[in-house]
Amino acid sequence: MYSVSMQERSRKGRKDVNQLAKSIVDSATDEAEIIKKAVSEGKNPAAVLLGRRGGLKGGKARAASLSAQKRSQIAKKAANKRWHTK
């Protein structure tokens, strides 16, 4: 009934427990490395982490705080810059 050339579903393999543990450690290490770099540059590590968290929120928080009219103005300005050459 089925065609021989029918493709199988793509499957995302579940991570092995060890792979999951490694990914957790890697993500925690990244944060530790960011703090070490900030301290070596003379920055406040707490402020660096707060700034990073704010940067990750970024556009969503900004879009939520803007009115629809202001967002429309920004979008029109961006489209104008994008499509009109100098």
53 three-class SS: helix
Residue 71 falls within a domain, yes or no? yes
Residue 9 falls within a domain, yes or no? no
Residue 4 falls within a domain, yes or no? no
66 three-class SS: coil
Domain assignment of residue 28, given as a range: 17-83
In angstroms, the CA 38 to CA 46 distance is 9
Total tally of structural domains belonging to the chain: 1
pLDDT by 10s per residue, the chain, length 86: 555 666 666 666 667 888 888 888 877 777 778 778 888 888 887 777 777 666 667 778 888 899 999 999 999 999 999 988 66
pTM over 0.85: no
Residue 65 falls within a domain, yes or no? yes
Residue 73 falls within a domain, yes or no? yes
